[in-house]
Amino acid sequence: MANLRAEAVAELTRRLGHVFRDPALLERALTHASVGEGAVRDAAGRPIRDNQRFEFLGDRVLGLLVAEKLMRDFPEADEGAMSSRLHSLVDKVACARVAEALGVGPAMRLSAGESKQGGRRRESVLGDAMEAILAAVYFDGGLDAARRVFDATWAAEFEASPARAVTNPKSVLQEWALKLGRPLPTYRVVNRSGSDHAPTFTVEAVVEGVEALTATGRSRQEAEKAAATALLQREGLI
């Protein structure tokens, strides 16, 4: 099993097109939090370091690289159009698609329980790992290295037809819920980070009977709109 994973890591490295000077960075990016459950420690007796902090940074690196490419490729697009496209390119669904294409699942370190429950194919696990990998490349080779990996791995996402722009995604989501005979969607702030003058909100959008989805924004309203947009995109409505 260990040999199979080593082969998967080697293949992932080849597909990324980045040779890590410090392979431990990639190893951490591929380590799910479940590996550390039960106070598991590495060979040196230190607690296992998972990819959650890398995922935090990778999300920001990805946002910058997507925004940079949108500015470069669509010089006439307005902020609204670029924001809509950005949300579709940085959400967990897009990250998971990129991760699946790269073969991230077989290369990951998961607990036995998480692996048995399908963690190597789970969208949230793959999406988080892909963001963590971008952070690992950033730490290893800087922004230029991260940009090269991003340009290659997100090319298919940019080539895909952009999702139909929705001016008021919360209204569209509300209409969809009513058509399904469900209660109105609800939104819940699950995290608030950053300083008081530059906060970041993470909001969860919930439609009864449908898997909830979270998104971030610079205000609660922006995060709610982003979560509604991402949920509509995931359900194939836009």
Mean pLDDT of each 10-residue bin along the chain, 238 residues long: 85 96 96 73 66 94 95 85 81 89 95 86 89 98 97 91 65 90 95 80 94 88 89 84
Q: What is the reported pLDDT for 70?
A: 93
- State how far the alpha carbon of 227 is from the alpha carbons of 41, 199, 231, in Å: 36, 17, 6
Based on the residue annotation, tell me whether 91 is a catalytic residue of this protein: no
Among residues 50, 55, 59, 91, the one annotated as catalytic is 59
Residue where a domain stops, chosen among 159, 194, 211 = 159
- Are 23 and 141 part of one and the same domain? yes
- Are 154 and 175 part of one and the same domain? no
Q: Where are the alpha helices (DSSP H) in the chain?
A: 2-16, 23-29, 52-73, 79-90, 92-102, 104-107, 112-116, 123-153, 155-159, 169-179, 220-234
Q: What is the reported pLDDT for 37?
A: 60
Q: What is the reported pLDDT for 78?
A: 80
CATH number at residue 125: 1.10.1520.10
**Beta strands 186-195; 213-217: pairing state:** unpaired
In angstroms, the CA 200 to CA 219 distance is 7
Q: What is the reported pLDDT for 166?
A: 58
End-to-end alpha-carbon separation of the chain, Å? 41
Structural domain tally of the chain? 2
Q: What is the reported pLDDT for 38?
A: 52
Q: What is the reported pLDDT for 46?
A: 63
**Structural domain for 13, as ranges:** 2-159
Residue where a domain stops, chosen among 110, 128, 159 = 159
Q: What is the reported pLDDT for 196?
A: 77
Q: What is the reported pLDDT for 42?
A: 53
Based on the residue annotation, tell me whether 131 is a catalytic residue of this protein: yes
Q: What is the reported pLDDT for 15?
A: 96
Q: What is the reported pLDDT for 6?
A: 92
- Are 56 and 152 part of one and the same domain? yes
Among residues 91, 131, 140, 204, the one annotated as catalytic is 131
